[in-house]
Amino acid sequence: MTHRLGIDIGGTFTDFVLLAENGDLQTAKVSSNPEDLASVIHEGLGHLAANSDVDVVALLGDIDLVVHGTTIATNALIQGKLARTGMLCTTGFRDILELREGLKERRYDYIQPPPTPLVPRHLRLPIDERVNKDGMVLEPLAEDQVRAAAATFREQGVEAVAVCLLWSIVNPIHENRIKDILGQELPGVPVFLSARVSPQLREYPRFSTTALCAALADRLHDYIDRLEDNLADAGFRHALRYIQCNGGTTSAAGLRERPVLALDSGPAAGPAAGRFFGRLFDLDNIITLDMGGTSLDVSLVHDGRIDTAKNVDVHRYRVAVPMVNVRTLGAGGGSIARVDDSGLLQIGPTSAEAWPGPACYGRGGERATVTDANVALGYFSDTDLLGGAMAITGDLARNAIRDTIGGPLGVEGLEAAYAIYTLVNENMANAVRQISTEQGHDLRDFAFVCGGGCSAAHAARIAESLGVSRIIVPRVASLLCSFGAVITDVRHDYSRNHAAHFGQCDSAVINGHFDEMMAEARADLAGEGFAPEQIRLQRTMDVRYLGELGVLTLSMPEDETFADGMTATEALFDQAHERAFTFADPDCERELMGLGVIAYGERGEALSRISMPVVGDLDPVAAISQTRRASFAPGETSPIPVYAGGKMAFGSMIEGPAVIEEETTTILVPPGWHVRLDDSHAWFMWQPG
Euclidean distance between CA atoms 688 and 388, whole angstroms: 33
**Which helix (H) or strand (E) covers residue 51, if one does?**
helix 37-52
User: Is residue 323 a part of any domain in this protein?
Assistant: no
Ranges assigned E (strand) in 182-339: 191-193, 239-243, 249-250, 286-291, 296-302, 305-306, 308-309, 312-314, 317-319, 323-324, 327-329, 335-339
Whole-model pTM: value is 0.88
DSSP 8-state code for residue 268: G
Sheet holding 624-633, edge to edge: 624-633, 636-644, 658-661, 666-669
For the chain, how far is it from start to end, CA to CA, in angstroms? 46
Dihedral of the alpha carbons of 606, 535, 246, 191, in degrees to the nearest 10: 140
**Which helix (H) or strand (E) covers residue 578, if one does?**
helix 567-581
State which residues form the domain around 199: 81-216
Quick one: three-class SS letters along 438-472? HHCCCHHHCEEEEECCCHHHCHHHHHHHHCCCEEE
User: Is residue 92 a part of any domain in this protein?
Assistant: yes
**Crossing angle of the two packed helices 143-156 and 173-185, in degrees rounded to 10:** 50
User: Is residue 289 a part of any domain in this protein?
Assistant: no
Q: Which of 562, 580, 601 is the last residue of a domain?
A: 601
Euclidean distance between CA atoms 373 and 384, whole angstroms: 15
User: Is residue 221 a part of any domain in this protein?
Assistant: no
User: Is residue 468 a part of any domain in this protein?
Assistant: no
Q: What does the pLDDT read at residue 220?
A: 93
User: Is residue 509 a part of any domain in this protein?
Assistant: yes
- 447: which strand partners? 286
User: Is residue 187 a part of any domain in this protein?
Assistant: yes
CB-count exposure of residue 216 (10 Å: 0-12, 13-18, 19+): buried
Q: Which of 163, 189, 216 is the last residue of a domain?
A: 216
User: Is residue 309 a part of any domain in this protein?
Assistant: no
CATH code of the domain covering residue 183 = 3.40.50
- 286: which strand partners? 301, 447
Q: What does the pLDDT read at residue 581?
A: 85
Backbone angles phi, psi at 125, to 5 degrees: -110, 130
Give me the number of domains the chain comprises. 2
Q: Which of 548, 567, 601 is the last residue of a domain?
A: 601
- 242: which strand partners? 68, 250
Pick out the chain residues at pLDDT < 70.
1, 11-12, 604-605
- The answer to whether residues 358 and 376 touch, using CB atoms and an 8 Å cutoff, is no
Could you read off the pLDDT of 102-112 as tens digits, one per residue?
877 777 888 88
CATH code of the domain covering residue 570 = 3.30.1490
Residues in CB range of 280: below 8 A, 6 or more apart: 609, 678, 680, 682
Q: How far is Cα of residue 308 from the mean position of the Cα atoms in its chain?
A: 10
